[in-house]
């Protein structure tokens, strides 16, 4: 008989059962970083921060594996820093909720709770989109006939936008992430999906799993 149980993300983050998948995720992130750096170097693009800081963008993250990994990093911070960041995360979540209720047409922009004085507190643990954002790219979404092309960020456009496109294909990263996520869900018995901002990943701590008895 299948029973639904809630498990703490912090507990999962230190579970030895997940070591293999965490290591695979780290390898994937290393691969992304290398490919991103090579593509950025090709253009001579170097992010030194800008007014449109991408940490102000409301990104949603869709994998439990990244959620668990981010919390693994968060749990290494001191309790004082964790409490401060959580407080900002709660404010962020409330501001987003209010903005969604107003259903304004302008995109929600607010600094990510992990950004302190322009630096990411959990740089080594940051999610995939934080690593890939900024340079022009392409993606072949599964089941769709066409490759989708994406632009660089405003800082890229203003400094390197005149260069011809240099191929940066996100597809292998998304595909590998999808495989790792499926393995995690199968291992833990997670049936649902996740869609969270970094703020929500820091505030919430429970994942629902199916337990077969
Ligand atoms: S996780 Fe780090 S890199 Fe990503 S938006 Fe937040 S502060 Fe920026």
Instruction: Round to whole Å and give the CA distance between 104 and 98.
Output: 10
Mean per-residue pLDDT for 81-92?
Answer: 98
pTM of the full predicted structure?
Answer: 0.93
Distance 3 CA to ligand 1 centre (A): 36
Mean per-residue pLDDT for 75-99?
Answer: 97
pLDDT, residue 169, reads: 97
Instruction: Round to whole Å and give the CA distance between 62 and 40.
Output: 25
- State whether the beta carbon of 61 lies less than 6 angstroms from ligand 1: no
CA-proximal residue: ligand 1, atom 5 (nearest): 55
- Map residue 208 onto helix, strand or coil: strand
Mean per-residue pLDDT for 132-138?
Answer: 95
Q: Predicted confidence band at 121 (pLDDT cuts at 50, 70, 90)?
A: very high
- Map residue 76 onto helix, strand or coil: coil
pLDDT, residue 212, reads: 66
Mean per-residue pLDDT for 165-172?
Answer: 96
Q: Predicted confidence band at 145 (pLDDT cuts at 50, 70, 90)?
A: confident
Mean per-residue pLDDT for 97-101?
Answer: 92
Mean per-residue pLDDT for 54-79?
Answer: 96
pLDDT, residue 210, reads: 83
Instruction: Round to whole Å and give the CA distance between 155 and 48.
Output: 9
Domain boundaries, the chain: 2-212
- State whether the beta carbon of 135 lies less than 6 angstroms from ligand 1: no
Burial class of residue 95 (count of CB atoms within 10 Å of its CB; 0-12, 13-18, 19+): middle
């Amino acid at each position: 008989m299948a029973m639904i149980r809630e498990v703490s993300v912090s507990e999962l983050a230190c579970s030895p059962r997940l070591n293999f998948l965490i290591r695979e995720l780290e390898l994937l992130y290393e691969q992304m970083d290398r490919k991103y750096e090579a593509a950025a170097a090709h253009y001579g693009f170097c992010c030194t921060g800008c007014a449109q800081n991408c940490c102000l963008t409301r990104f949603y993250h869709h994998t439990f594996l990244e959620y668990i990994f981010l919390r693994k990093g968060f749990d290494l911070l001191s309790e004082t820093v964790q409490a401060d960041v959580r407080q900002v995360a709660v404010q962020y979540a409330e501001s987003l909720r209010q903005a969604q209720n107003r259903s304004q047409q302008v995109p929600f922009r607010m600094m990510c709770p992990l950004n302190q004085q322009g630096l990411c507190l959990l740089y080594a643990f940051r999610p995939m989109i934080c690593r890939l954002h900024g340079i022009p790219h392409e993606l072949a979404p599964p089941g769709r006939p066409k490759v989708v092309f994406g632009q660089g960020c405003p800082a890229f456009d203003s400094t390197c936008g005149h260069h011809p496109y240099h191929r940066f294909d996100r597809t292998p990263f998304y595909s590998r992430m999808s495989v790792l996520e499926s393995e995690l869900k199968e291992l833990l018995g997670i049936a649902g999906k996740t869609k969270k901002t970094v703020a929500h990943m820091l505030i919430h701590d429970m994942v629902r799993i199916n337990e077969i008895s």
